[in-house]
Amino acid sequence: MSGHVPGRALPRLEPVGRRRPDPAALVLVAHGGRAGSRESGERRRLTYWRMLPFAKDLRRAGPELGVFMLRYRHRGWNGADRDAQRDVEAMLAELRRRHPGVPIVLVGNSMGGRAVLRAAGADGVVSVCALAPRLDGSDPVAQLAGRSVLIAHGDQDRWTDPRQSLAYAVAPRP
């Protein structure tokens, strides 16, 4: 992303566990957020803490992995601005710059699930996992070509709609 300064600037990558100089694969974990909010993504909210255990578990199970939490610019998706998606795309570019040619797996929850599904067409992405993605029926599927996709949804979810996940999961099939 033009103008991105590593360190405290947002968006940024937050490494989970000891950083590996030569990871065999990279995992970017994107947490949830609100439909609309320009609040800073700096504060670690419940949606962040909900996904951190997944990131730590992956780091423990795959010491050869480089695992990163995504820190958003904003708390919300924000309609046509698609801020979360743009942040995922920016940090994918940053990962490719740091580790050219290393395969990338995306994991996202809720707003982050939508963001990773929509950003899955980026170079280097091989797979995407969306947990309770917040989909609305307008989300494209063409970018999933050639990627492995896992979508999981709790059947008692009241915040996002499992039926949208099902429709989305079925849509990409040839």
Partner 1 sequence: MTDRVARFEVLGDGHSMLRRSGDWASLVRRFVLGEIGTNPRTPTSRTPCDHRHPPD
The residues that touch partner 1, with contacts defined as CB under 8 A, are 24-25, 27, 50, 53-54, 57-58, 61-62, 64-65, 103, 105, 107, 109-110, 126-127, 129, 131-132, 141-160, 162, 165-166, 169-170, 172-174
The bridge status of strand 125-131 relative to strand 104-109 is parallel
**Cα distance from N-terminal residue to C-terminal residue, the chain:** 34
Compute the least distance from the CB of residue 131 to partner 1, in Å: 7
Is the CB of 13 or the CB of 67 nearer to partner 1?
Answer: 67
Minimum distance, C-beta of residue 3 to partner 1, in the bound complex (Å): 31
Task: Give the nearer residue to partner 1 in terms of CB position, either 4 or 162.
Answer: 162
- Which of helix, strand or coil describes residue 104? strand
Q: 15 preceded by cis ω (within 30°)?
A: no
Query: CB of 53: closest distance to partner 1 in angstroms?
Result: 7
Per the CB < 8 A criterion, the answer to whether 109 and 47 are in contact is yes
Q: 54 or 73, CB closer to partner 1?
A: 54
Report how far Cα 17 is from the mean position of its chain's Cα atoms.
18
Nearest distance in Å: CB 125, partner 1: 11
Give 1 or 126: the residue with its C-beta nearer to partner 1: 126
What's the rounded Cα separation, in Å, for the pair 169 and 164? 8
Three-state DSSP state, 144 = helix
